[in-house]
Structure 1
Amino acid sequence: MATEAFEEIAETFEFLDDWEDRYRHVIELGRAMPPLDDSFKVPATKVEGCASQVWLLPRIEGTGPEARFDFQGDSDAMIVRGLIAILHALYAGLSVREVLEVDAQAELARLGLDEHLSSQRSNGLRAMIGRIRRLAQETMETA
């Protein structure tokens, strides 16, 4: 289950044969993402477990399982900003119930990210996914 925005990224990755081209595309996705205002770069939005500085600010409308999930994010590393943009494409607009149903590892494997990210970046990506899933789970429980 992937959003239309994520499917577009996956299709673009299919056309990019070389990993260097894919890497540049990830960076471009990050550049296109609006920056997070500095006032939101606080400990409460910081994602622990990332080598770079990463902040995720949830934007959830509603309560319970059908609440709509969205977030803003930012990082001090361009490749990580791109990974945040990919996660945004994967999750934004889903209900929190659907967020919990997404197999992020399988979806991201379609992009080849699992094979080409350093272990530190992979750990950071898992930490961001973990934060997103916790936010969704907490919202599910507020019915």
Structure 2
Amino acid sequence: MLPPIATIIENFEIVEDEDMRLEYLIELGKALPPLPEALRNETNRVHGCESQVWINTSVEEDGGTPHLVLQGFSDSFIVRGFVALMIAYYTGKTPQEAAKLDGLDLFRQLHFGAHVTSKRSNGVRAMVERIHRDAVRLAA
């Protein structure tokens, strides 16, 4: 089970050692619930990532208010950690709220830009764009 995004942000702000930050990112990825094989399909595949990445976006009603529920997986431990960050960031938001968010802001806030390869940064960008498109579609 992933901790709330506020806790994740606090934990990254406390840890300054880059190796420990990477370890925490990998632990977040390991905390993701398994993505059923049936959802690892072409529809849920995120194109633009060097690793295999799947994100399933759905909406659930909570007290009459729709909110996003994201599930995801990657075959790379580090990228799976980034998937976990995006899931923690967007899950629970209404589609309208999620459509206004930019997961790249979170990526920058956590200071990953300087220590992540450009291919992984492009992968995160592809994840954010995919989630944003799903949120806009679900908000309509």
Distance 1:67 1:99 in 2: 12
Deviation of 1:113 (Å): 1.3
What SS does structure 2 have at the residue aligned with 1:67?
strand
Distance 2:102 2:129 in 1: 12
Q: Does 1:105 align with 2:99?
A: no
Deviation of 1:67 (Å): 2.8
Report the counterpart of residue 135 of structure 1 in structure 2: 134
Deviations 1:45-70 (A, max 9, x none): 101000000001112125xxx63111
What SS does structure 1 have at the residue aligned with 2:99?
helix
Deviations 1:32-86 (A, max 9, x none): 1112111211111101000000001112125xxx631111000100111111111
Identity across matched positions, percent: 37
Deviation of 1:106 (Å): 2.1
* Stretches of 4+ aligned residues off by more than 4 angstroms: none
Distance 2:26 2:76 in 1: 9
Amino acid at match of 1:60: V
1:1-143 to 2 correspondences below 5 Å: 5-61=4-60, 67-141=66-140
Distance 1:5 1:113 in 2: 19
Structure with more strand by fraction:
2
Structure 2 stretches lacking a partner, 5+ long:
none
RMSD: 1.4
Deviations 1:87-130 (A, max 9, x none): 11111000011102213222221111122111000000000010
Amino acid at match of 2:13: E
Amino acid at match of 1:26: L
TM-score normalised according to structure 2 size: 0.91
Distance 2:35 2:135 in 1: 20
TM-score normalised according to structure 1 size: 0.89
Amino acid at match of 1:112: H
Structure 1 stretches lacking a partner, 5+ long:
none
Distance 1:16 1:121 in 2: 21
Distance 2:42 2:34 in 1: 17
Amino acid at match of 1:20: D
